[in-house]
Amino acid sequence: MPLLFIIVLIIANIGSSYFYTRFDFTREKRFTLHPKSMAILAKADKEITVTVFLDGNLPAAFKRLKNATSDLLDDYKASSGVKIKVVFTDPLEGLDQQAQDTVLQNLYSIGIEPTNLNIKNEAGFTQKTVFPMAVVQAGDRQLPVKLLQNLDAAGNYEQNINNSIQNLEYVFSSAIKKVSTGENPRIGFTEGNGEPADPFISDAMRSLSDSYEVGRVDLNVISKEGLDKLKVLFITKPQKEFSEALKYKINYFVMNGGRIVWSIDQVSADLDSLKGKGEQLAFNNKLNLDDMLFMYGARINYNLVADLNAAEIPLAMGGGEHRDIQMAPWVYYPVLVPDASPGLVKNIDGIRTEFLSTVDTIGVKGVRKTVLLHTSPYHIEHNTPEVLSLQIVAEAPDQRRYLHPPAMAAVLLEGSFPSVFLNRQAPAGITENFPAGALSKPTKMIVIGDGDIFKNQVSGRDGSVFPLGFDRYTQRNFGNKALLLNIADYLSSDDNLIDLRNKEVRVRLLDKQLLRSEKLKWQLINVIVPLLLLISFAIFQHYYRKYKYAR
């Protein structure tokens, strides 16, 4: 019998060196690769090298991120049809200052950026430079990968680690797909029609540039060749009327299978003007886009939503020299609720908006509609023109007056769209041939009733840019950036990886308040119960031996 056990043990050890497997008993299947990741690994035809720069003497939270990265890459190696080489390294270990500067410069050139941490110790605080990044390489293509995601302006890294672990499979699968296929979709943000200046969309463009080729697009000058190279077009908060020539180019882009995000302000209103005058007339914008959106299957209404589920704004309270800045909810900055059913917005926090309009859908044959965002049940829709006043902040709202069914604020349209310019001559200003049929190639577009949803805040003092979705006044992070990234993923590829973004890894931490209140109880249980069990076992053994051998 012992010999058989030894033989089985030897066979099991030899077999484990050739075959890798593990059993995932977690509720959220955190250690199981998604089928989309498996499909990407199955299509890979070149050897892949993953260099992870997160190594060395790390704080506890970053060790957890490193271990999660290592576990995931082990699964990739076991599931891939090609060899995947994984290397963990600390690029600054053992180097003097001059050598470290050279290494840092070389890493910057390939997109690897360090993160500086303030670590508390007995002497106070010490600074530690870590590299929560990796490089994925296949053949002559390589791509930097950020392991630490969703940084907030306060730099609270501990709270970001779990979000980063949830996002690991997406970033690695996406990177492997790009370096294996050479796919690098091009995304454009329009300019030339009063759209926000670069600083106000800089974080949106920077966030997308990690995975896409991103830039500004002036529809007035772009050629047919330039449109053909675009995959996704963001039309974000235009203020000037679109000419028929510009609409003709947009229609060609849609007919050719291009994807569009319409982020439109149908109503002109500005909080800065309100703060200066106390009240303002909100009036309708004339953008000349209604007919296009109607043909494609959507309508952005000329109204303003006042919602009790709203973001706060800073206001000067009091009078004279003793005026204090206080935060107050502003009903015209609704926080939208993501619809729970579509994977596109699953697990996303509330979305901050400014002067929102509702969206309706129009019945168009062959076009499917999916609601993405909606208001809370406590809202009112004001038809415009409408006089807005800051006095509403001081008034206690009557919830019964605001009680209405949630209204649609963003919709996804998918299918083959009819041409807006069917049987019409090319308008003045079109000098190239833009061929388009009666119906578009199968494509997608998203219509949002707010132009500020992808704008980041900018400091008026020094022009510094805040992360998209971060409110510098309340120090709160909203889900705007996650929405942007999900939209880009969904629209840029038919084989999108959004399901990987929706992966949930729960950290089941101890309840600190309960732990403090019951600390003594559990200390006594952990000290006394094992001793009682040991004594009970000894007493039982004594009497059992006495009973057994006394006969």
d(CA 338, CA 340): 6
pLDDT at 357: 96
pLDDT for 153: 43
**Cα(12)–Cα(6) distance, rounded to whole angstroms?**
10
State the average pLDDT over residues 504-509. Answer: 57
pLDDT tens, residue by residue, 29-77: 666 787 888 888 888 888 999 999 988 888 888 888 899 899 899 988 8
Q: What is the mean pLDDT of the chain?
A: 85
Mean pLDDT across the stretch 154-173?
Answer: 74
Instruction: Supply the DSSP symbol for 403.
Output: B
pLDDT, residue 264, reads: 96
The contacts of residue 259 (CB under 8 Å, 6+ apart) are 231, 232, 233, 443, 444, 445, 491, 492
Position 7 pLDDT exceeds 80: no
Kind and range of the H or E element at 187? strand 186-191
pLDDT tens figures, 117-152: 766 666 666 677 788 889 999 888 888 888 886 554
pLDDT over 90, % of the chain = 38
pLDDT at position 30 is 64
Bridge partners for 298 per DSSP: 361
Of 451, 537, 395, nearest in space to 268 by CA: 451
Structural domain boundaries in the chain: 8-179, 184-501
**Is residue 455 scored above 70 in pLDDT?**
yes
- Taking CA atoms, 434 is separated from 147, 252, 429, 439, 497, in Å, by 43, 6, 12, 14, 32
- Specify burial of residue 412 (Cβ count, 10 A radius: 0-12, 13-18, 19+): buried
Q: Which of 169-183, 243-257, 344-358, 374-388 has the lowest mean pLDDT?
A: 169-183
Could you give phi then psi for residue 124, rounded to 5 degrees?
Answer: 130, -115
Distance CA 48, CA 441 (A): 35
| 550 pLDDT more than 90 | no
Q: Is the pLDDT of residue 98 over 90?
A: no
Identity of the amino acid at 380: I
Per residue in 278-330, pLDDT (tens digit) is 788 889 999 999 999 999 999 999 999 999 999 998 887 665 555 677 888 99
Q: Tens digit of pLDDT for each residue in 327-352?
A: 889 999 999 988 766 678 877 889 99
Closest CA to 334 of 380, 272, 283, 396: 380
Q: What is the pLDDT of residue 132?
A: 86
Q: Strand runs (DSSP E) across 113-185, as ranges? A: 115-121, 124-130, 133-138, 141-146
Q: What is the pLDDT of residues 402-414, one digit of tens each?
A: 999 999 999 999 9
**Range ranked top by mean pLDDT from 55-59, 264-268, 484-488:** 264-268
pLDDT at 154: 46
pLDDT at residue 213 tops 50: yes
Mean pLDDT of 352-372: 95
Q: Which residues contact 32 (CB under 8 A, 6 or more apart)?
A: 24
Q: What's the predicted TM-score (pTM) here?
A: 0.77
